[in-house]
Amino acid sequence: MPQPFVKLNIGSGLSGAPGWHNIDNSPTVLLSRLPFGRKLFKTPPWPRDVRHYDVTKGLPFPDQSVLYIYSSHTFEHFAWEASLAVARECFRVLQPAGILRICVPNLRIAVNDYLQSSDPLASHFFVRRLSLAHTFHDLVHPGANHSQMFDERSLLHLFREAGFPQPAVKSFLKSSIDDIAAIELPERKQESVYVEASR
């Protein structure tokens, strides 16, 4: 029998929510758990309930065993093929009527800001804002830069390609996830697009 209240937070960062399975792929999660690790490696103060895990290798849950999946500012760090594979894994592990909600930076907002800017270096600021350059820093922190960008259309397309029949664009805190306020960050509100779907 599936567990009725398994809730998964993919790419939790430092904002793991109580009652959720908070997972993040930053190597600093592991380094911070070593004796004197935080002081020696100057790692962030990772909460004890955040588990180090690479979701591109699959989700560690049985079929139809998860009620909610939430992910904020994580899917843009995957290449398209990897993001689709993770979304399909989300579909696999969700219970019937289970919910997937993804929040990512909204490319449309960045483009509109660029088009409305009178700064002569607006193009440079726009490219820098996208954070698409990959450097040696990615070896230490795989999520340091973006591998793709989404808008409403491309994020809806990701959901549909993963098997979700009726994904919908949502707004901040407008969700069928009952405790969404415990996990959704207000500082992401102005820069993000939110899409949600039931299995």
CATH of the domain at 153: 3.40.50.150
Whether 187 is in a domain gets the answer yes
Whether 66 is in a domain gets the answer yes
Whether 63 is in a domain gets the answer yes
Whether 49 is in a domain gets the answer yes
Query: pTM of the entire structure?
Result: 0.90
| Residues 1-55 pLDDT 10s | 445 689 999 999 888 889 999 999 987 777 777 777 667 767 777 788 899 999 9
pLDDT for 46: 78
Full residue range of the structural domain in which residue 95 is found: 7-106+146-198
Whether 184 is in a domain gets the answer yes
- Give the closest residue to 148 by CA, choosing from 81, 85, 87, 77: 77
Secondary structure percentages of the chain, helix, strand, coil, to 5: 40, 20, 40
Angle at 165 between CA 159 and CA 152, to 5 degrees: 40
Q: In DSSP terms, which residues pair with 9 in a beta bridge?
A: 22, 70
Query: Strands 192-198, 94-105: parallel, antiparallel or unpaired by DSSP?
Result: antiparallel
